[in-house]
Chains A and B, each alone.
Chain A
């Protein structure tokens, strides 16, 4: 029973993080949200008795994918859309 409640809470957080990652215009926050998704997924894999997949998801999804996305954001643009523009080191509204 406790396990079921925990899984339901985790699933709700998972969905919330996924929706947040889609609607967020600041891509850095969206990437952190996807990393939260991976973290919860890895806990769920472990609960569902797949520890091998849980290890992979924890190492790749939480750490490596996140850092690769963050490096990409640093080298390109942080904000989605054309509402903001980067001039030098400042971010100003168009």
Chain B
């Protein structure tokens, strides 16, 4: 009986999937007479006032894909953390490669703030210059990595990281839902678009990219911290 139900459900799902895919023309130019590249470039310049066309495609025209991408990263980090993270008393005693010299420690201390600033710059100016949330978040994680390698008693609070990450994810989703509430599509722009080439332009794109930057930075920092504090694997 159970198998019959499962097979029926699978058949229904398969029928509709095939039905949908059969309606997509294969090998046919659906944009006959209009060039998609020019369409995107013009749209991002005229309708959104975003000078970096890559950002406008990633966050606005393909914003739903980006939401999925962020979710994939979140799931990967969660899976890794659930395997490696253990709350123990000796968790912080695990040796990072070796204790760093004084020069390395001073240099890391000096470079930490500029690296964070660079990361923040990259994701705040994602709609004006190359880069964006993913790149900026990774740069921030690199800064934390430097501190983790230099000071082997450097601690990162998992609680703060999870709060930052959840808030950033919620910001992304609510920025998308805002468009839905105002009678537009999910993740469609609903804020004033401002002047092109200025910091306050592009509607919700900077907001979403700042959220993505915080999210990616928090996730990768947590990942590195968990991996570095994992104790040496003892072979039996």
Contact = CB atoms under 8 A, between A and B. Distances in A.
Interface stretch (A4-12, A14-22, A63-71): A63-71
Interface of A: 51-52, 54-56, 59-60, 63-64, 67-68, 71, 74-76
A22 to B, nearest CB: 25
Contact of A59 (B130, B142, B224, B227): B142
B135 A55 contact: yes
Interface stretch (B20-28, B59-67, B159-167, B228-236): B228-236
B71 to A, nearest CB: 18
B39 interface: no
Contacts of A56: 134-135, 138
Nearest to B148: A67
Contacts of B122: 55
B196 interface: no
29 contacts: A51-B130, A52-B130, A52-B131, A52-B132, A52-B135, A54-B130, A55-B130, A55-B131, A55-B135, A56-B135, A56-B138, A59-B138, A59-B142, A63-B138, A63-B142, A64-B138, A64-B145, A64-B220, A67-B145, A67-B224, A68-B224, A68-B227, A71-B228, A71-B230, A74-B232, A75-B230, A75-B232, A75-B233, A76-B233
Given A56-B135, A63-B138, A64-B220, 17 more contacts: A52-B52, A52-B135, A55-B130, A56-B134, A59-B135, A59-B138, A59-B142, A63-B142, A63-B145, A64-B141, A64-B142, A67-B145, A68-B224, A71-B227, A71-B230, A74-B97, A75-B233
Contacts of A74: 97, 232
Contacts of A76: 233
B128 interface: no
Contacts, number: 43
B54 interface: yes
A40 B202 CA distance: 33
Contacts of A64: 138, 141-142, 145, 220, 224
B139 interface: yes
A74 B52 CA distance: 41
A54 B129 CA distance: 13
Contacts of A54: 130
Contacts of B130: 51-52, 54-55
Contacts of B132: 52
A75 B96 CA distance: 11
Contacts of A51: 130-131
A50 B27 CA distance: 28
Contacts of B139: 59
